[in-house]
Amino acid sequence: MYDLDKIRADFPILSREVNGKPLTYLDNGASAQKPQVVIDAITKVYAEEYSNVHRGLHFLSNLATEKYEAVRGIIARFLNAGDENTIVLNSGTTEGINLVAYGWAMPRFEAGDEIVLSVMEHHANIVPWHFLRERQGVVLKWVDTEADGSLDPQKVIDAIGPKTKLVAVTQCSNVLGTVVDVKAITQGAHSKGVPVLVDGSQGAVHMPVDVQGIGCDFYAITGHKLYGPSGSGAIYIKPERMAEMRPFIGGGDMIKEVSKEAIIYNDPPMKFEAGTPGIVQTIGLGVALEYMMELGMDNIAKHEGGLRDYAMQRLSGLNWINVQGQAPGKAAIFSFTMEGAAHAHDISTILDKKGVAVRAGHHCAGPLMDHLGVSATCRASFGLYNTKEEVDTLVDALELAHELFA
């Protein structure tokens, strides 16, 4: 049973007020709130267990190392990766994709080689590829969304040509909520000998993920959207891709031996994890993922699906609201504009006065904003703790904003 009242009680921040109103937190797409078990785990490590990992033989170092390394296995279970050594720990999706760009793509891509992207990618899955375009002459090929915001997998596959070296695509749009059939894209790309990177920053939050079932070569996640600490994350890398990669950042921990003449790298995945890591953040991420798995990813998806359907029903009754993206099966993410002169920032400010937290701007998705023909939108993004009553609160606040700007 999905006990929503109990779940909400697990998140202390949800009981606070903002501007004299109960907090209605609908900015989960940017960053999710943290359950008490994560907060307690972080506090316990700092207060009672902290030490550096991998380098000491004393009790605290061994304890910290054990708890830190256990998270690799938790993430592997969360993603159904099979082997925990396919998991590279890092600070989040941005670092993970940059690792692939610098460690795998840069040494093997030449001028004229192509990367296929969808137009709705987050900047984290765009900017590293632009670096390769600027520095090595790599060509970026873009696939547009359909009128309803969906992405046709066949159009992505058809965009793959003889010079395509990578397909990089999101599993779930942070703006439109569109859920992408990354398995079909991966199968089509692999049939043409092209690897696939999946940005799972949103996908892993809203649905069960099976990287072995998807078959992708790379799958990146970020901890702060998964109810864990900021500065935590990981990327799944297939063993055959990992064997092709050179290190991205050099320093301690990613080496076995260093001399004046040479270095010997550590074995993967530690070969790609230089320096003192985000020890406490990573331990907190492990606790957050265990919390989600205890609730059940299918249960979370079902709950959020109900919120999505109810929110679509309520928002469709506001004929002066334009919701961007109506793809079937989308996640509970709603980006919208309001008819008239009201800017997204103005709408967000009015909603904040009612205690409703939404995001306003381009959502780190510049090419998608250009494709949609808008400069900015408001975005209400729902999480595992949100309620239908909060949908009603959002609609009431939007009606007030419309009255003020009409």
Q: Contacts by 102-107 with C-beta closer than 8 Å and gap 24+?
A: 102/128, 102/248, 103/245, 103/246, 103/247, 103/248, 103/272, 104/241, 104/244, 104/245, 104/246, 105/132, 105/138, 105/165, 105/166, 106/132, 106/136, 107/246
Give the model's pLDDT for residue 342: 82
227, 38 in Cβ contact below 8 A? Answer: yes
273, 89 in Cβ contact below 8 A? Answer: yes
Q: How far is CA 104 from CA 94, 176, 242, 265, 282, in A?
A: 15, 30, 8, 16, 24
- Residue 3 CB contacts under 8 Å (≥ 6 apart), including other chains: none
Q: How far is CA 312 from the centre of its chain?
A: 23
What's the rounded Cα separation, in Å, for the pair 386 and 359?
16
Give the model's pLDDT for residue 401: 94
Which helix (H) or strand (E) element contains residue 268?
none
What's the rounded Cα separation, in Å, for the pair 213 and 4?
30
What's the rounded Cα separation, in Å, for the pair 145 and 54?
46
Q: How far is CA 381 from CA 119, 271, 291, in A?
A: 20, 36, 20
Q: Domain spans of the chain?
A: 4-30+296-405, 39-294
What's the rounded Cα separation, in Å, for the pair 280 and 251?
20
Averages of pLDDT over runs of 10 residues in the chain (406 residues) are: 96 97 98 98 98 92 97 98 98 98 98 98 98 98 98 98 98 98 98 98 98 98 98 98 96 96 96 97 98 98 98 96 96 94 90 97 96 96 98 97 88
CA atoms within 13 A on the CB side of 7: 20
**Max Cα distance, the chain (Å):** 72
Bridge partners, residue 179, by sequence: 172
Catalytic residue among 172, 216, 364, 378: 364
- Local structure of 85: helix, strand or coil: helix
The pTM of this model reads: 0.98
Check: CATH 3.40.190.10 for 4-30+296-405? no
What's the rounded Cα separation, in Å, for the pair 241 and 217?
7
Q: What are phi and psi of 338, to 5 degrees?
A: -120, 135
Is 364 designated active site?
yes
| Radius of gyration of the CA atoms of the chain, in A | 22
Give the model's pLDDT for residue 1: 84
85, 268 in Cβ contact below 8 A? Answer: yes
Give the model's pLDDT for residue 341: 66
Just give the CATH number of 39-294.
Answer: 3.40.640.10
